[in-house]
Amino acid sequence: MEEIAQVLCNVTDELKSSEVFIELHHYLESQEEIPVDSIYLISKPIMESNEYEYDYKNGFLLLIKNHKVMFFTTDSLDNDDFITFKEDFLEDTGALARKFEYVGLIGRSRDWKSKGIISSICLDEETDFTHLLQENKLDEVNSRVSNLIISLLTGSINNVSELDKELFSQEQTLLESIKNRIMLFDTNQTKFVYNEDSKSPIIRIQGLAGSGKTELLLHKLKKLYVEDKGSRIAFTCFNKVLADKLRGRVPEFFNYMKVDEQINYQRLFIASSWGSGRYPDAGLYSKICANYGLKFHPFSRTKDKSEIWKEAISELTSLSNFEPMFDYILIDESQDFEKEYIELCQLVTAKKIYVAGDILQDIFSINKETETDFLLNKVYRTDPRTVLFSHVLGFGLYENRAVRWLSEEEWVMSGYSIEEESADEYEISRSPLKRFGEELDEASYKSIVVKEENDYINGVINTVKELRGQYEGIQPSDIAIIYMNYDKEASSQAEEVSRRLYKEFNWYSVIAPHEKRVNDNDEVLITNVNNVKGLEFSFVIIVNNHRIEEIQDSNIEREVRHRNALYMTLTRSFISSTLIISERYATREYIDQIKRLSNDLYEHGPSTIVHKPIKIIDENELYHVTHQEVKSQFDIIEECFVERSIVGKTREDMLPMLMTIPAIKDGITEKQEILKLIIQLEPIFKLKK
């Protein structure tokens, strides 16, 4: 497994054998002020590095977020070869800035020099490394220019059309900094995209939700597509909705990554993992079956999926001299797949499979069955305090019977430090992350708020009012309101909240999935827990309208699923998550405990003392819960549309009408009832029954 944190060193052999360079490298690895996985030592740009060659072998760059772009030489600063190296390197960087349309934001290389963003340093035995880093630190505004230059040189390309040019050259509020955040890969992410050279046929990435796995797969996809001409690539994930989003994201991603050639979909196949016998291109499994003439099994909740994949493997291996249909397959959300599915993919892949999964996509289990090549346990979406809070609630660590307890190795894999304070008492902590710039103090606001309210509607409206008062420039689309249980009462509350939002703030809202979004930037999203996977918001308001009971044998499935839903929902926010709760849905003791935790995290940062539970749910029982598949109403509606062959514009037009039916609005999930309602609508669209 790759080291969790390392300086990325990509320099000439001459420098690697230089004593002063070795000393600098060692200092950077051992110092504790700057995260080592944000430090780069390079002698040429990382992306498309084969295109760049410099004759001078004793020059290199030190790149650190929020610092000047530092050019080093082990000779003298007036060495002609070093001067030429620096000029050529800046010229090439300027070409990258023009290619990716950065110039409008960061200017040209002469501007970088005039602003003092470029520095030249002679590295010798007298160099004071600590002083060097201090004097090359930049202020907030100039840091943005430097960070975008670093993004060009490390291949962490940003879509600059999403950055506000007016705000770029001035100090920003917290909310502005989130909307204009500059994405920089850490060194582990960079290694996966650009320096991964393993001979293994399967490369595995594991990370926490929000650690950037999908973004990395997109960068890897682009690299493979552009550099391995003619290669055939598949990109898949389990969830059909997310697969649809990927199909839309890839062309946009290729566009801002300036891929010159038009996407050839004969080379690139993007679909969900399963598919349809009628429409083989609807999924990877159906595509494989159609290509090799294998028996296709439709999706079933009851049939053992492993057995389906084993049957396909058996049929495939019985064929004589079959040729792989892909060169590469990229698999997102691998925790949703059985190992036999990965084996099937491996059989039809000529070169390599890239598998990305979550260490803790849910609270049921930690993904530790196979060796991991790249471990990503920093969460860049959610505040570390919110992550810790969500794990404590999700694992049930304040309850008589907990959902689970991690081993020391598992805590570390999940991004925690753990220290034993006394017998069965531990301090768990996460490292604070400067997600939005050095100048913004993320400890100055509460990332997790527990609000006790008997009137949930007023609780939601008052929370919105507080957010509007606290965060300048807040927009309706910055907020999601999520109900933990979707029933008739919740539906009625959602409609009342929608009315109050417009009455009190003149804000529009959309109640999803029943209403179609019209203007994403001008609407608050009101939804339920079944529709939040893959979504991200600056602020999340969680309405806990589901009773949190003591975990008993009789309620284990319901209670564990609710805790998992809380964990998943709390971690949808960039800035803060507000949990609205009352004694109607939880005990006094429970509410007081999570209130104390929320306050402690605000006062002391992402750290708390927990006791190892005496009673923990047996892993076999957890396995049973996790393998009982639960589908959202929207998933079932999609399944019914497929069964009735309702696709394209007909599906788009029928869905809003279906969502107005009272039974659907009340949240029914019985498939046969939903199917009847769809069949009743078919004559309106001139479909044969």
Q: Residue 1: inside a domain, yes or no?
A: no
pLDDT, one tens digit per residue, over 37-65 is 999 999 999 987 778 999 999 999 999 99
Look at residues 307, 342, 376 and tell me which one is the last residue of a structural domain: 376
CA pair distance 108, 126, nearest whole angstrom = 33
User: Is 564 in the same domain as 644?
Assistant: no
Same domain, 409 and 516: yes
Q: Is the pLDDT of residue 468 over 50?
A: yes
Residues 6 or more apart from 44 whose CB is under 8 A from it?
A: 10, 52, 53, 54, 89
Rounded CA gap, 80 and 56, in Å?
Answer: 10
Q: Which position has the higher pLDDT, 664 or 34?
A: 34
- If asked whether residues 347 and 221 sit together in one domain, one would say yes
Residues 173 and 320 occupy one common structural domain: no
Asked whether the predicted pLDDT for residue 620 surpasses 50, the reply is yes
Would you say the C-alpha torsion 652, 653, 656, 659 has a positive or negative sign? negative
Cis peptide before 513 (omega within 30 of 0): yes
The CATH number covering residue 547 comes to: 3.40.50
User: In terms of Cα–Cα distance, which of 141, 24, 47 is closest to 96?
Assistant: 47
Both 591 and 459 in a single domain? Answer: yes
Alpha helices in 383-430 (DSSP H): 384-395, 408-413
- Please tell me the least confidently modeled range out of 232-236, 433-437, 647-651: 433-437
Task: Let me know if residue 79 belongs to a domain.
Answer: yes
pLDDT digits (tens, 9 = 90+) for 190-209: 999 998 888 899 999 888 77
- At residue 3 the predicted structure's pLDDT band, cuts being 50, 70 and 90, is very low
Residue type, 641: F
The angle formed by the CA atoms of residues 235, 238 and 242, to the nearest 5 degrees, is 75
pLDDT per residue as tens digits for the range 273-318: 999 888 999 999 999 999 999 999 988 767 788 999 999 999 999 9
Confirm whether 627 is domain-assigned. Answer: no
240: helix, strand or coil:
helix
User: How many C-beta atoms lie closer than 10 Å to residue 553's C-beta?
Assistant: 8
Residues 472 and 415 reside in one and the same domain: yes
What is the CB neighbour count within 10 angstroms for residue 552?
10
Asked whether the beta carbons of 426 and 405 are under 8 A apart, the reply is no
What is the count of structural domains for the chain? 4
Choosing from 360, 376, 392, the residue where a domain stops is 376
Note whether residue 190 is domain-resident.
no
Return mean pLDDT, the chain. Answer: 88
Q: Is residue 330 part of a domain?
A: yes
Highest mean pLDDT out of 240-244, 251-255, 499-503, 650-654: 499-503
pLDDT band at 2 (very low <50, low <70, confident <90, very high): very low
- Looking up tokens 């002469």, which residue turns up? 110
> Which pLDDT does position 505 carry in this prediction?
97
pLDDT at 1 (0 to 100): 44
Torsion from C-alpha of 436, 438, 444, 449, nearest 10 degrees: 30
What pLDDT does 488 receive? Answer: 80
Is residue 74 in some structural domain?
yes
Residues 444, 334 within the same domain: no
Q: Are strands 326-331 and 349-358 parallel, antiparallel or unpaired?
A: parallel
* pLDDT at res. 621: 63
What is residue 212's predicted lDDT score, i.e. its pLDDT? 82
Q: Domain range holding 436?
A: 384-621
pLDDT of residue 5: 62
Q: Is the pLDDT of residue 364 over 70?
A: no
Q: Do 644 and 682 meet the contact criterion of CB atoms below 8 Å apart? A: yes
Last residue of a domain, one of 574, 590, 621: 621
Same domain, 554 and 445: yes
Instruction: Tell me: do 37 and 129 sit in the same domain.
Output: yes
Residue 432 domain-assigned (yes or no): yes
Torsion, Cα of 160, 166, 167, 171 (10° steps): 140
Would you say residue 307 lies in a domain? yes
> What pLDDT is attached to residue 627?
44
Q: Is the domain of 214 the same as that of 325?
A: yes
**Residues 404 and 536 both lie in one domain:** yes
Residues 128 and 104 in one domain: yes
